[in-house]
């Protein structure tokens, strides 16, 4: 059983941590809504129990001794966990609320995410969403985002990732282009076509295709160098260029779905799967934390339900 005298000093340790953060007895007392005298008394009691000075006092400020720093640092995570646990319990009795700062790719957000958000916000009137549309892979903690939608094959190991659905890439063109140039019958034929591509860092653009059916080992994978009149780092823009008849392109299924269903685009080489062009899974990710606000939990649950069927093409 723990020493009761030590247990009685737990709040004293918290006050010491507040003193370290605020830099003076006056500021710390105001933060804790107690008197300066009560603050001084608690720290004196803690020093007496510890048997060593924990605070160095000057006429203008205070700072912790090495012992004080060691004590506050070693207990900091415990107090943070207590605060997170209490917040989680408190949220059980409240309606999901608060602002969620959300980052998402432009094309995905415009075509698939934004149309579903009005219903979510109507059902959760205490939640507010600030949506940032960008194809730039932001640093979530550095830029203040609570959550991000990412289209990737490998989510960052330093983050929590919830899989929303699997996705796939498809090779497409407009009928206008196909009437003019013909349809390729094998990936190798793409070298002779106008190919609209998503620019990458490498100087030579290649598309890689993996056979989806039973084919000889020598014909299961093809890497094809491609070139064309237009490249852009946005799948929605690639789709619009393909619709205009500029050439053949690879799109993620969520960008191609509606145009294919309307017959505005034609899917090519259905027995070959383009690999490595876009990610194969849609994730909701956030920086790791012991407590996830309920508003974020509710939003992620909603998105998992919305996207659980993927984007059939």
The domain ranges of the chain are: 4-92, 98-167+280-307, 169-275
Instruction: For residue 163, give the nearest of 293, 46, 303, 31 by alpha carbon.
Output: 303
Q: Which two tokens stand for residue 84?
A: 């997170």
255-311 pLDDT tens trace: 999 999 999 999 999 999 999 889 999 999 998 877 788 899 999 999 999 999 999
Question: Is the fold of 98-167+280-307 the same as that of 169-275?
Answer: yes
φ, ψ (nearest 5 deg) of residue 203? -70, -35
Largest CA distance in the chain: 89
Q: Which residues pair with 252 in a beta bridge?
A: 169
**Hey, is 91 helix, strand or coil?**
helix
**Hey, is 165 helix, strand or coil?**
strand
Q: What is residue 1's predicted lDDT score, i.e. its pLDDT?
A: 39
Q: What is the mean pLDDT of residues 229-240?
A: 94
Q: Rounded to an integer, what distance in angstroms lies between the CA atom of residue 25 and that of residue 27?
A: 6
* Domain formed by 4-92, architecture: Orthogonal Bundle (1.10)
- Say how many C-beta atoms besides its own lie within 10 A of residue 53's C-beta: 13
Query: Is residue 153 very low, low, confident or very high in pLDDT (cuts 50, 70, 90)?
Result: confident
Q: How distant, in Å, are the alpha carbons of 3, 82, 160, 213 from that of 254?
A: 61, 42, 23, 23
Q: What is the mean pLDDT of residues 205-220?
A: 77
Helix axes 10-22, 66-92, angle to 10 degrees: 110
- Determine if the pTM surpasses 0.75: no
CATH code of domain 169-275? 3.40.190.290
Q: What is the mean pLDDT of residues 25-42?
A: 89
184: left (phi over 0), alpha (psi -120 to 50) or beta: beta
* Domain formed by 98-167+280-307, architecture: 3-Layer(aba) Sandwich (3.40)
Task: Note whether 229 and 247 are within 8 A (CB).
Answer: yes
Report residue 69 CA to chain centroid gap.
34
Report residue 30 CA to chain centroid gap.
37
For the chain, percent of residues with pLDDT exceeding 90: 55
Task: Note whether 151 and 282 are within 8 A (CB).
Answer: yes
Q: What is the mean pLDDT of residues 170-179?
A: 98
Q: Which residue has the tokens 């809504």?
A: 33
φ, ψ (nearest 5 deg) of residue 276? 80, 0
């Amino acid at each position: 059983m723990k020493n009761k005298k030590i247990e009685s000093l737990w709040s004293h340790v918290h006050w010491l941590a507040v003193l370290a953060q605020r830099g003076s007895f006056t500021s710390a007392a105001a933060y804790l809504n107690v008197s300066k005298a009560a603050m001084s008394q608690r720290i004196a009691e803690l020093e007496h129990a510890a048997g060593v000075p924990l605070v160095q006092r000057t006429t203008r400020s205070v700072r912790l001794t090495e012992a004080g720093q060691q004590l506050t640092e070693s207990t900091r995570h415990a107090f943070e966990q207590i605060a997170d646990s209490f917040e989680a319990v408190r949220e059980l009795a409240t309606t999901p609320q608060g602002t969620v700062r959300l980052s998402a790719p432009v094309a995905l957000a415009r075509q698939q995410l934004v149309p579903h958000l009005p219903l979510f916000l109507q059902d959760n009137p205490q939640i507010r969403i600030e949506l940032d549309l960008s194809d730039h892979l932001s640093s979530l903690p550095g830029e203040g985002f609570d959550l991000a939608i990412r289209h990737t094959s490998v989510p960052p190991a330093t983050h929590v990732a919830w899989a929303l659905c699997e996705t796939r890439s498809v090779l497409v063109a407009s009928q206008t282009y196909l009437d003019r140039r013909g349809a390729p019958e094998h990936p190798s034929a793409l070298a002779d076509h106008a190919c609209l591509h998503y620019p990458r860092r490498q100087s030579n653009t290649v598309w890689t295709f993996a056979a989806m059916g039973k084919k000889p080992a020598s014909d299961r994978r093809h890497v094809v160098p491609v070139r064309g009149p237009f490249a852009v780092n946005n799948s929605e823009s690639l789709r619009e260029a393909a619709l205009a008849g500029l050439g053949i392109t690879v799109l993620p299924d969520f960008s191609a779905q509606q145009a294919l269903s309307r017959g505005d685009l034609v899917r090519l080489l259905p027995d070959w799967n383009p690999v490595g062009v876009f990610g194969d899974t849609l994730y909701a990710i956030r920086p790791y934390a012991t407590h996830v606000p309920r508003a974020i939990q509710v939003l992620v649950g909603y998105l998992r339900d919305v996207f659980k069927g993927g984007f059939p093409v």
